[in-house]
Amino acid sequence: MRTPEVHQKVMDAAKSRRGKRGPLSEIHRRKISESHMGLKPTVDTRMKMSLAKKGKIPTHIWKLHTPEARRKQADSIRGRLHTAEHKKKQSESMKGRHLSEEHKRKLSEVKKGKMPPGGVERLHTKEIHEKIRIALKGRIVPEDQKIKIRIARARQVMPMRDTKIELIVFAYLDSHNVSYCKHKILSDIPHYLYSRHQFDIVVMDRRLIIEVDGCYWHGCSTHFPNPNEYQKWALNRDCIINETIEKNGWEIIRLWEHDINAGNLSELEEVFG
Ligand SMILES: [Zn+2]
């Protein structure tokens, strides 16, 4: 990816060329080509480019915000940019609304940063939540939106719950007295994209990583012979993760959901059996 400075330089160069006639000189062309060397697009960019080419996702969705816009957004989220007018409007809109003591307490905790807004404890009552659920049920989410959501989820770093298939693998490792870490981020595997990737299982003393791959989420070829756009992206990502891990002197074993469910842990048996 270009840094903002490089990007500016390129834009300036293009500007100064505007209106000039004639093809690019050989030297100029070589310079451009050299400037692109080593600038491989990231997986994300490639995925976006490929989707955009197919017309599946309008390119504007992926437009990057300028640092300035991002800062503004971040500040506004933190509530710093609320103008006096905005605050007045908000306060007026709240007037006449009766808040229960419980609700007030929650709001105040959210403000103190004790509770993420809408998180952990829901502000909605069960009844309202049920209404929202029903309302959302019949909603058709466009395919491009779905893909975006899936990619965002895949990139999210959050404490993960142990999946059913992970529990099977944990049980196997426990029964073989293997000590391991769950859902671990490895800082010695640097990668511009996956530096925050949580590996499912890490066996530190063997420098071994075990990934427990769900058939859908990782696009297994047995159950998904024709991978969808998300699965293509995931396959590419997993490929890069494998390469990165091995380059850094780690080993990786990937176990498929369908093998684990069928009780086939032969790859683990080769190592620990
Ligand atoms: Zn499968």
**Over its length of 273 residues, how does the chain's per-residue pLDDT go in tens digits?**
455 665 666 555 555 545 444 555 666 666 655 555 545 555 555 665 565 555 444 433 334 445 565 555 544 444 444 455 655 665 555 555 566 666 666 666 555 544 444 444 445 667 777 777 777 776 777 888 888 887 777 666 555 678 899 999 999 999 999 999 999 888 877 765 666 788 999 999 999 999 999 999 999 999 999 999 999 999 999 998 999 889 889 999 999 999 999 999 999 999 998
C-alpha 222 to ligand 1 mean position (Å): 5
Euclidean distance between the first and the last CA atom of the chain, given in angstroms as a whole number: 45
Cα 228 to ligand 1 centre (Å): 14
CB-facing half-sphere around the CA of 169: CA atoms within 13 A: 30
- Compute how many other C-beta atoms are within 10 angstroms of the C-beta atom of residue 258: 15
Please tell me the distance between residue 178's alpha carbon and the centre of ligand 1 in angstroms. 26
State which residues have CB under 5 angstroms from ligand 1, the bound ion: 215, 220, 222-223, 258
Q: What integer pLDDT is reported at residue 109 of this predicted model?
A: 56
Residue 145 CA to ligand 1 center (angstroms) comes to 25
Domains of the chain (ranges; CATH) run: 4-62 (no CATH), 99-139 (no CATH), 164-272 (3.40.960.10)
State the distance from the centre of ligand 1 to the C-alpha of 146, rounded, in angstroms. 22
- Confidence (pLDDT) at 174: 97
156 Cα–ligand 1 center, Å: 23
The reported pLDDT for the residue numbered 152 is 75
Ligand 1 center to residue 246 CA distance, Å? 24
Cα dist from 146 to 36, 137, 181, whole Å: 32, 15, 32
**Residue 201 Cα, ligand 1 centroid: separation in angstroms?**
20
Distance between Cα 167 and ligand 1 center (Å):
18
How far, in Å, from the CA of 154 to the mean position of ligand 1? Answer: 18
CA 269 – ligand 1 centroid, Å: 20
- Residue 152: how many CA atoms within 13 Å on its side-chain side? 7
Contact 259, 209 (CB under 8 A): no
Measure the CA–CA gap between 173 and 189, rounded to whole angstroms: 23
Gap between the Cα atoms of 200 and 217, Å rounded: 14
Edge-to-edge, what's the strand order for the sheet holding 181-185? 181-185, 198-203, 208-213, 251-256
Chain-centroid distance of CA 35 in Å reads 29
